[in-house]
Structure 1
Amino acid sequence: MLMVFGLTTGEFVIAGILPDVAADLSVSVAATGLLVTAYAVGMIVGGPSITVLTARVARKPLIVALIAVSVIGNLGSAIAPNYPVLLASRFAAGSVVATFFAVAIATAISMSPPDKHASTVAKVALGMNLGIVLGTPIGTVIGHNVGWRATFLTVAAVSVAALLLVLRFVPDQPAATSGPVLSELRVFGDRRVQWALALTALGNLGVITVFTYIAPLLTGVSGFTADAVAVLLLVYGVGAVAGNFLGGWLADKALMPSLIGLLAALAGVLALFWLVGDSKATATIMVFATGVLAFAIIPGMQARVLTTARSAPTLAIAVNASGFQLAAAFAGWLGGRVIDSGLGMRSLYLVGAALTVTGVAVAVHILRRDRAALRYGEGTARDRTVPSRFASRRIRPVRSGRGWRP
């Protein structure tokens, strides 16, 4: 949980110190936004590849190595003499995040009794919420008052503390698999996994575009001071915690319908932010509402990926994280292009709303596919999904005594 807290803080705190980094390194805010992209690209590239390539490595040494890389990446960020070195350091720090999440959750579950799996995952994932609620605003305060380099030094220190706890308490465990490691990559051929990954990427793209530039939006559009940004990030984090529990509860009730409703609500809030964002009072409310909805969609998206990739659950978690980071990588670049285009900083809210609507469209498509599969299976639990050989063809499968046939 402590390590997840550090990783999450390291990912999101850049949004609070973006102007400080830009001013100190003499680069534009748009260029500084690419630091988010570099971290995200590191997760995208490192997540599936490192997870697969290390599948035959014992768990504890792997966890130690992943934490060590994170420490080195954050130390490199703290002492970076220029923008290119900082960009490379953020890529390195991000490259191990998705694999660490996957291995940490799998290891924690293996150490807990069967009836405590869900609560165990919740305890590990609590680090993510705490990173938003506490880590990001605290890191922003440190960055404003001591310097943005001190923020990354603090993240590295948290990771070192987590490393000591891992060395002391995590038992030695064998590798996740002893078979061919590349066999797990077959999960990517499942059309349902592909759509689930697309939902994670497109559903998060709009809100991440807005969050990446939240500091200049709040100071330049809403009129807040730089010191107030840390408080508003805390408001966002409180909303994120509430949204996490809300999204999980709704996903248990009705997974895809709840995701459609939450994504539609998120698009509406971002559009409303564009209308009323110049008022400090309403902007504060919008920050909280955005935090709630941005994290309410995550449990359902994760559940969707896990249920469609049961043959490789560890890789599925890394894939889900990579899908989220695909959105983050594109968001950092896209937001910079919107700002440089002359449309103005405020237009990011409308762009975010429009992008979120594409996530709604994907969710609706997935729901229709599910219902079609259920109809083809005559409503039985075992036939909820059309067999993969029919998934990409315009052929209506029917039941016969010999099984599925066109």
Structure 2
Amino acid sequence: MPLALLALAVSAFGIGTTEFVMMGLLPNVADDLGTSVPTAGYLVSAYALGVVFGAPLLTALGARIPRKRMLILLMAVFTVGNLASALAPNFGLLVAGRVLAGLPHGAFFGVGSVVAARLVGEGRQARAVSMMFLGLTVANIVGVPAATLLGQHLGWRATFLVVAAIGLVAMAALARLIPELPPEQGGGLGKELRALGGRQVLLGLLTTVFGFAGVFAVYSYLSAMAVEVTGFSETSVTFVLALFGTGMTLGVLAAGPLTDRAPRPTLYGALAGLAAVLVVFDFTVHVKWAAPVTVVLLGAAGSLTSTPLQMLIMNKAKAAPTLAAASNHSAFNLANAGGAWLGGVAIAAGWGWTSPTLVGAALAVVGLAIAVLAGSLDRGEGSRVVAGAHLEHVPQHQDAQTAGHTRAH
């Protein structure tokens, strides 16, 4: 795999760290800025809001910017957003900093996915995209716990200063390792919008919303379940969350080669497995030795869906895949908000702490049904999906320095 993928993974690590670290720092921020923890929770929503609106907006604005420059600009916005968060004198400006930090999230992964696929030959493109996503999962194992610990001991502002420093390192890596790549041939905002409106692309985005909502319906309340139902101490919650991140990493590592071989079957199997694991978790959450094992499986099944979804959406967008790929991350964040809300509704209705597991299973089944419908319509149209088939690439044998003078063919 090209060394340039390392630059994308480092960037993804920084993005994943700042996205999830706020959940562990809410008490610290609330105490420091004189607000309540529920009110501080709006900082999580502020980041998600930035992702949802920033993904299509920034991708559209940068449709004609060379891909390397676009990636560096997006990481610059990310770095400024985290620096603004670290220096925010009050809660309102901290919310603004979180929105700013979230704006480039979806656009970066949209552009980054297309770049990763263009860096390798056909048959390896899903693996290249999964290598970038690996930075997100490692952030959940290493970045988020370390950044949370740092914030608890040195103050939450120190966390965002460190994440801003990671952003600078990522910008340097992108500048050094990513080759010069022009925008996709024939691209442009009009073509990107038409591609985004395609039936298969929309069905893919709906699959993301419902399928991943099943994951977040449970993940949002995983800490509470571990304490209230399984019987773990509050100090053990970080260990449980790290197990989820470990599962995510395993899922991403498996997703790349599986998607390169058979994207739709991989997606079907991942969503079916996710629904099954969520049903099983309704029982194993009561057992101290079985609950952690199921948490790993939950993380693996959830992340196994991400790469085939991204590749299928990119392929169905054909020659204008960037906006569709970026919008998929808006869909991920809608799934985050919707799944958490539905899981909370079930708990508030008095159905118990474990009720989000069955809510999540139902959402995963809906996602599977949409994916199967899309596959059926695709076969009916006489199409055959091959991961990355319509994406240009830079020959794999070139190193980053040589590829810097190469144009995608």
Residue 186 of structure 1: how far off its partner (Å): 0.5
Q: Does structure 2 retain, via aligned residues, the 8 Å contact 1:37–1:332?
A: no
User: How has the CA–CA distance of structure 1 residues 80 and 228 changed in structure 2, closer, same or farther, with 3 Å as cutoff?
Assistant: farther
Residue of structure 2 equivalent to 1:13: 21
- Where do 5+ consecutive residues of structure 2 fail to align? 1-8, 386-409
**1:36-47 matched pairs, under 5 angstroms:** 36-47=44-55
**1:5-404 matched pairs, under 5 angstroms:** 5-18=13-26, 21=29, 26-29=35-38, 32-107=40-115, 120-170=128-178, 174-176=182-184, 180-374=188-382
Looking at structure 1, the residues matched to 199 and 181 of structure 2 have their Cα atoms a distance apart, in angstroms, of 33
User: How has the CA–CA distance of structure 1 residues 109 and 221 changed in structure 2, closer, same or farther, with 3 Å as cutoff?
Assistant: same
Residue 111 of structure 1: how far off its partner (Å): 5.8
Q: Does structure 1 retain, via aligned residues, the 8 Å contact 2:123–2:261?
A: no
Looking at structure 2, the residues matched to 332 and 143 of structure 1 have their Cα atoms a distance apart, in angstroms, of 25
Moved more, 326-335 or 129-138: 326-335
Secondary structure at 1:224's aligned position in 2? coil
Looking at structure 2, the residues matched to 281 and 129 of structure 1 have their Cα atoms a distance apart, in angstroms, of 23
* Deviation by residue 1:117-174 (Cα, 9 ceiling, x = unmatched): 5664444333223223322232233344444443333222211222233344545555
Q: Highest CA radius of gyration, 1 or 2?
A: 1
User: How has the CA–CA distance of structure 1 residues 115 and 129 changed in structure 2, closer, same or farther, with 3 Å as cutoff?
Assistant: same
Secondary structure at 2:36's aligned position in 1? coil
Letter of the structure 2 residue corresponding to residue 74 of structure 1: N
Secondary structure at 2:231's aligned position in 1? coil
Q: Does structure 2 retain, via aligned residues, the 8 Å contact 1:15–1:212?
A: no
Looking at structure 1, the residues matched to 264 and 59 of structure 2 have their Cα atoms a distance apart, in angstroms, of 28
Residue of structure 2 equivalent to 1:388: none
Letter of the structure 2 residue corresponding to residue 10 of structure 1: T
Q: Does structure 1 retain, via aligned residues, the 8 Å contact 2:185–2:319?
A: no
Residue 252 of structure 1: how far off its partner (Å): 4.1
Residue 293 of structure 1: how far off its partner (Å): 0.6
Residue of structure 2 equivalent to 1:4: 12
Q: Does structure 2 retain, via aligned residues, the 8 Å contact 1:203–1:360?
A: yes
Q: Does structure 2 retain, via aligned residues, the 8 Å contact 1:78–1:153?
A: yes
Residue of structure 1 equivalent to 2:397: none
User: How has the CA–CA distance of structure 1 residues 337 and 82 changed in structure 2, closer, same or farther, with 3 Å as cutoff?
Assistant: farther
Letter of the structure 2 residue corresponding to residue 90 of structure 1: R
Q: What is the TM-score of this pair, normalised by structure 1?
A: 0.80
Looking at structure 2, the residues matched to 209 and 35 of structure 1 have their Cα atoms a distance apart, in angstroms, of 19
Letter of the structure 1 residue corresponding to residue 160 of structure 2: F
Residue 15 of structure 1: how far off its partner (Å): 4.0
Q: Does structure 2 retain, via aligned residues, the 8 Å contact 1:36–1:212?
A: no
Moved more, 354-363 or 267-276: 267-276
Looking at structure 2, the residues matched to 22 and 348 of structure 1 have their Cα atoms a distance apart, in angstroms, of 27
Q: Does structure 1 retain, via aligned residues, the 8 Å contact 2:126–2:308?
A: no
Looking at structure 2, the residues matched to 205 and 32 of structure 1 have their Cα atoms a distance apart, in angstroms, of 23
Residue 19 of structure 1: how far off its partner (Å): 5.4
User: How has the CA–CA distance of structure 1 residues 355 and 118 changed in structure 2, closer, same or farther, with 3 Å as cutoff?
Assistant: closer
User: How has the CA–CA distance of structure 1 residues 114 and 303 changed in structure 2, closer, same or farther, with 3 Å as cutoff?
Assistant: closer
Letter of the structure 2 residue corresponding to residue 91 of structure 1: V
Q: Does structure 2 retain, via aligned residues, the 8 Å contact 1:140–1:230?
A: no
Q: RMSD in angstroms over aligned alpha carbons?
A: 3.1
* Deviation by residue 1:327-346 (Cα, 9 ceiling, x = unmatched): 12333444455555554544
Q: Does structure 1 retain, via aligned residues, the 8 Å contact 2:126–2:259?
A: no
Looking at structure 1, the residues matched to 361 and 31 of structure 2 have their Cα atoms a distance apart, in angstroms, of 29
Residue 177 of structure 1: how far off its partner (Å): 6.1
Moved more, 60-69 or 315-324: 60-69
Residue 96 of structure 1: how far off its partner (Å): 0.4
Looking at structure 2, the residues matched to 173 and 249 of structure 1 have their Cα atoms a distance apart, in angstroms, of 25
Q: Does structure 2 retain, via aligned residues, the 8 Å contact 1:6–1:131?
A: yes
* Deviation by residue 1:206-254 (Cα, 9 ceiling, x = unmatched): 2123223333333343333343222222222221121123333443444
Secondary structure at 1:274's aligned position in 2? helix
Q: Does structure 2 retain, via aligned residues, the 8 Å contact 1:204–1:327?
A: yes
Letter of the structure 2 residue corresponding to residue 318 of structure 1: A
User: How has the CA–CA distance of structure 1 residues 54 and 238 changed in structure 2, closer, same or farther, with 3 Å as cutoff?
Assistant: same
User: How has the CA–CA distance of structure 1 residues 81 and 22 changed in structure 2, closer, same or farther, with 3 Å as cutoff?
Assistant: same
Looking at structure 1, the residues matched to 175 and 63 of structure 2 have their Cα atoms a distance apart, in angstroms, of 20
Looking at structure 1, the residues matched to 223 and 155 of structure 2 have their Cα atoms a distance apart, in angstroms, of 16
Letter of the structure 2 residue corresponding to residue 139 of structure 1: A
Q: Does structure 1 retain, via aligned residues, the 8 Å contact 2:129–2:307?
A: no
Q: Does structure 2 retain, via aligned residues, the 8 Å contact 1:3–1:127?
A: yes
Moved more, 197-206 or 37-46: 37-46
Residue 365 of structure 1: how far off its partner (Å): 1.9
Letter of the structure 1 residue corresponding to residue 95 of structure 2: L
Residue 281 of structure 1: how far off its partner (Å): 2.1
